[in-house]
Structure formats: structure tokens, C-alpha cells
């Protein structure tokens, strides 16, 4: 069974930085795509950053230039470096990985989320 666990969230002042981590465990045969999403109170979940199957990185306009997504597939880790944080970045952040597991099933797996709060 594949599980994702996020960490690194917390309370930070405007202009500060946080680094989110997502640890994957379980049998993973192939990784197809990786993404960080966020959901603020009363809003829909939105894609923040992603690494596609070809390795290209995509960012939401609101975070481009401030956030950086990276991964270490050998360690089954995904990261989101967040700099110059703003109050509007406040949300629960989720990592998601599209993968094939050890029994051959393909699907998107999600972590439980980590809270990021940016104070003004």
C-alpha cells in the first residue's frame, strides 16, 4: 500500500520561507507525475506546482518565481520550497503522485495535507 505523508508546514510571517516535504512509502514501480495542491478555507483545491512525466515543471501564476518543486525519486521524496510567502498562500497543502504500484495498479495518491499559515 502506497502512502504519502507531508511535513514542514507551520506559521510564518509575510516574506518568510518554508520547505514542505512529502515522503512516499510502499511499493512504487513507476512515477508518472507529481504535484503540490492547496486548499484555502471556502475555496476549491488548486494546483500549485507540478512535475510532469517528461520532467517539465509547471507553476500556478500566483506562485511562479517564488515556489520551487523538486523530487528525489530514489528516496521517494517530493519537496516544495516556498519563498516570499504572502498571506494569500495560507492553505492546507497536499502532495499528489500519479504512479503504478507494486501490484500494477495505476492511480493518484494523496497525502493528508499540511497547514501553512502566513501572517501579515
Burial class of residue 18, CB neighbours in 10 A (0-12, 13-18, 19+): buried
| CB-CB contact of 15 with 99 (8 Å) | no
- pLDDT 10s digit of each residue in the chain, 120 long? 899 999 999 999 999 999 999 999 999 998 899 999 999 999 999 999 999 989 999 999 999 999 999 999 888 999 999 999 999 999 999 999 999 998 989 999 999 999 999 999
- The single-letter DSSP state of residue 75 is T
Amino acid at each position: 500500500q502506497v502512502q504519502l505523508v507531508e511535513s514542514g508546514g507551520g506559521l510564518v510571517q509575510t516574506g518568510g520561507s518554508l520547505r514542505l516535504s512529502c515522503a512516499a512509502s510502499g511499493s512504487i514501480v513507476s512515477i508518472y507525475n507529481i504535484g503540490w495542491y492547496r486548499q484555502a478555507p471556502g475555496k476549491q483545491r488548486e494546483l500549485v506546482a507540478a512535475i510532469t512525466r517528461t520532467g517539465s515543471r509547471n507553476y500556478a501564476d500566483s506562485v511562479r518565481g517564488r515556489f520551487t518543486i523538486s523530487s528525489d525519486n530514489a528516496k521517494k521524496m517530493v519537496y516544495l520550497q516556498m519563498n516570499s510567502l504572502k498571506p494569500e498562500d495560507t492553505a492546507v497543502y497536499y502532495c499528489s503522485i500519479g504512479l503504478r504500484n507494486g501490484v500494477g495498479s495505476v492511480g493518484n495518491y494523496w497525502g493528508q495535507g499540511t497547514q501553512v499559515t502566513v501572517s501579515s
